[in-house]
Amino acid sequence: MGSCILACITTLKDLFDDKTRIVIDDKWFIIGEYKNKLNQSGQPRIGDEFLKWVLTNSWNTSRCQQTPVQIDASGELEGFPTDDELSQFDRSDRKFVVTALAYANHLGQPVPILNAVDSDWWIHKKPLQRVGISIEFLCSDQAARWRIEHGETA
């Protein structure tokens, strides 16, 4: 798992060093999920530092793009694809898909979703790609294992 951790740290360091920026939803569903799992003080781990960075830079458009998303009458995010193959996609991850699609539709630019070790993204990668979602798998060793587990060739 060492190479996976290094890939994730490198990705976050690039973000901290202004080499890239992130996209979040304007209703803060994504930030809310991060706040449930990480420490807002920025300590002790790099994931906590990431949350602090997001909170500090959420209104700085050169670092963080807040993308408008819509909520339906039941409080759910609108815009998740109706593809039958995505019906079992993790409900808690749908906010990332909706936000990426909204960003692409609003600004005409696709944005990749970065994933480290959540297998749901691998399982659903083909239907997600069909609807315009690009997924960047940061952990090549884990992706290779998923490829084998699912009988895929490189």
What are the residue ranges spanned by the domains of the chain?
3-150
**What six digits make up the tokens of 48?**
């906590």
| 142, pLDDT greater than 90 | no
Q: What pLDDT, on the 0 to 100 scale, is given for residue 1?
A: 53
Q: What is the pTM of this model?
A: 0.90
Q: What pLDDT, on the 0 to 100 scale, is given for residue 28?
A: 95
Type of residue at 104? A
Binned at pLDDT 50, 70 and 90, residue 154 comes out as low
Question: CA 10, CA 7: separation in Å to the nearest integer?
Answer: 5
> What percent of the chain has pLDDT above 70?
99
